[in-house]
Amino acid sequence: MAAAPVRQRCGSGGPRSQLPPCYFEGYLEKRGPKEKASRRLWTCLCGNSLYFFNNAKDAHVSFTLCTFFSMSLMCHIVLTLKVFCMDQYVEKLDLSGFVSLKDDSSRDRNLEAARLILRMKDGETKFTAPNLEARELWKGFLYSVIDLNVPSSLTLLPGQFQMLKEVVEKERTRRRTRNPGRAPPSPLSVPLVGEIPPCFRPVSRTEAEVLLERHPDCGNMLLRPGRDGCSLAVTTRQDLNGSVFRHYRVTQRDQGGYVIDVENPIPCATLHDVIDALVEKTAGTLQPFLLEEPYEENITYVSANDENGEKILHTAPSSPLPRVPALPPKQDRWCTSPLSRSPAADRRILTSPVPASPTNPMRRLILSPSPLTQTLNEELKLTLEKRKTSQD
């Protein structure tokens, strides 16, 4: 076997650096904030960035590793390797300034196309995917890389969710490998005194800016750890022809309490007083950042299919389970119920226990007096009338 020197099959000479691992790729129509027309570019999600190429061939460059002559096959065998080249892409979009990603309902000349808007800190970029399925996949991969968490609100297949889960693990490993000595963002080395305000977030300066810009309706001021780990900071966002961020240092005093380090320091007894002081100084313009964490609306569970063993995510029924009707309470057969009768009814009969059933013969007897009772009543009336006439 005679080995040949390594040579590059395409592209110009010189060393080439490889891109981060590619998680997803495909054609997208892209229009940036300063572009008037869309361009159809081959888009690759590599690491935490989007790389754009004129076509798919520019994205993949083949290198010849070696050639050797095979005695068994009587031919030259060429081993090649495809990699992503950094100096072939025409544009790069770093996703560290991500703000939001939403669907665009405007119509396209291609009825099957689906649009989405990627909002960054420096403007909006509009994309057009070939169809709805491709748009959902792009959203899934973008959210997975940006948030390092698999989104659950997208319409994807179980196998596609598994792909996103693998991407999250790969991206986490890549970031740990790239920055092995990087400590957690802004850890606090001093204990906080008193109750912590609800607008406190354990995030860095950049993450605080992204949070405030991504959720403008939740407030424009949050409390976070300081960069030195021994102090706190307040990050605010206001809109003046764009986002305007301000950061204020809050230090803890030796004698207790806190102070806002500005030109004229503002002492505060607690962290709540720090937030209240900034709200008061700005006449209510600054408001604490209160982000409600999302909760699931339905109960879900995972079970395996009896036929093929594939695991499927099920949603538990939301309607309550049917209850067995309860038996009516047992009534005493001698229980009586009040009956309305005329004053002429016999008092002895009224005091006797009578069942309340309308088919009871005793009740029919009471409601319908006998002829003998009617005759006695008529005779009594005549006797009374005669006695009254004789007295007159």
Ordered by where they begin, the domains of the chain are 22-178 (2.30.29.30), 205-282 (3.30.505.10)
Which pLDDT belongs to residue 358?
53
Per cent of the chain over pLDDT 70 is 68
pLDDT at 378 over 90: no
Phi-psi region of 266 (alpha: psi -120 to 50; beta: other; left: phi over 0): beta
Specify burial of residue 220 (Cβ count, 10 A radius: 0-12, 13-18, 19+).
buried
- H or E stretch covering 186: none
- pLDDT tens, residue by residue, 11-28: 333 333 577 899 999 999
- pLDDT tens, residue by residue, 318-332: 766 566 666 676 665
Radius of gyration of the chain (CA): 42
Q: What is the band of 185 on the pLDDT scale with cuts at 50, 70, 90?
A: very low
Which pLDDT belongs to residue 363?
52
Lowest mean pLDDT among 85-99, 101-115, 175-189: 175-189
Q: What is the mean pLDDT of residues 296-314?
A: 82
Do residues 355 and 336 touch, judged by C-beta distance below 8 A? Answer: yes
Q: What is the mean pLDDT of residues 150-162?
A: 87
Question: Higher model confidence: residue 162 or residue 75?
Answer: 162
Do residues 249 and 231 touch, judged by C-beta distance below 8 A? Answer: yes
Lowest mean pLDDT among 78-92, 149-163, 270-284: 78-92
Q: Which amino acid is at 113?
A: A
Lowest mean pLDDT among 55-59, 270-274, 332-336: 332-336
What mean pLDDT value characterizes the chain? 76
Strands 114-120 and 266-268: unpaired
Q: What is the band of 167 on the pLDDT scale with cuts at 50, 70, 90?
A: very high
pLDDT at 92 over 50: yes
Burial of 39-48, coded b for 16+ CB within 10 Å and e otherwise, reads eebbbbbbbb
